[in-house]
């Protein structure tokens, strides 16, 4: 009995290089998706074990009274990071901060300010993690303040998030919930679960 190939098999036989190209593109797409997802799971990648300092080794870099202003390619300010101390244990490692104060400069909206007792900056300087209690506020006509914990900021995307309980204090309201997303450019805040609120008459 003759062997019968399906139309798909015929196409693969005629275009093996095209099939390999499609597979490579698919693998590349999956790899990009996994890398993007990795930011949320591991927001601040650690340095490799090969570059880890030996126990008791002095830090690679220590700076006091840090005041770093970052601009985009056009020269527009988009982030200012101040801290009492910056400490990096090895070249290519994340930076540890003492009393960080982060200011974000959206293109159109008001400035945002966040402060904490400790902080971490990823090796490439793009992601900032503020563990523990965090206080935030927005410069605007009406008061807006945030009390939360463990915030992650993708500074170049004007975006921040936390998985922990948080409270928003406004001039005429208070809202609580678990998990928060902040779109700094849009001035939009979303509480992800168990959200409750109270309105206060002016």
Instruction: For 72-123, give the DSSP string.
Output: -TTS-EEEEEEEEEEEESSTTSPEEEES-EEEE--SSS--EEEEESEEEE-T
Banded pLDDT at 12 (limits 50, 70, 90): very low
**What CA–CA distance (Å, rounded) separates 96 from 193?**
31
Indicate if the pLDDT at residue 37 is higher than 60.
no
| pLDDT at site 25 | 41
pLDDT one-digit tens code per residue, 47-63: 444 445 556 677 778 88
Say if residues 90 and 47 touch (Cβ distance below 8 Å).
yes
| pLDDT at site 52 | 52
| pLDDT at site 202 | 65
Q: What is the mean pLDDT of the chain?
A: 77
The pTM of the full predicted model, rounded to 2 decimals, is 0.69
Say if residues 181 and 191 touch (Cβ distance below 8 Å).
no
| pLDDT at site 20 | 43
Backbone phi, psi, residue 22, to 5° = -60, -40
| pLDDT at site 159 | 92
Indicate if the pLDDT at residue 34 is higher than 70.
no
| pLDDT at site 145 | 95
Q: Hey, is 33 helix, strand or coil?
A: helix
pLDDT one-digit tens code per residue, 124-162: 888 999 999 999 999 987 889 999 999 999 877 789 999
């Amino acid at each position: 009995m003759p062997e019968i190939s399906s139309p798909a098999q015929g196409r693969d036989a005629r275009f093996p290089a095209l099939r390999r190209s499609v597979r490579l593109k698919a693998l590349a797409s999956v790899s990009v998706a996994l890398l993007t997802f990795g930011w949320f799971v591991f927001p601040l990648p650690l340095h490799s074990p090969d570059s880890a300092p030996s126990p008791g080794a002095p830090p690679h870099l220590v700076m006091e009274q840090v005041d770093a202003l970052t601009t985009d390619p056009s020269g527009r300010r988009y982030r200012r990071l101040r801290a009492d101390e910056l400490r990096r244990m090895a070249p290519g490692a994340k930076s540890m901060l003492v009393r960080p104060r982060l200011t974000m400069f959206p293109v159109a909206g008001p400035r945002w300010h966040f402060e904490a007792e400790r902080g971490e900056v990823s090796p490439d300087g793009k992601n900032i993690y503020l563990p523990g209690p965090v206080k935030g506020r927005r410069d605007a006509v009406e008061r807006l303040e945030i009390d939360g914990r463990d915030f992650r900021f993708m500074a170049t995307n004007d975006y921040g998030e936390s998985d922990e309980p948080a409270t928003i204090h406004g001039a005429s309201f208070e809202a609580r919930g678990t998990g928060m997303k902040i779109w700094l450019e849009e001035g939009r805040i979303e509480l992800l679960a168990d959200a409750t609120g109270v309105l206060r008459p002016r």
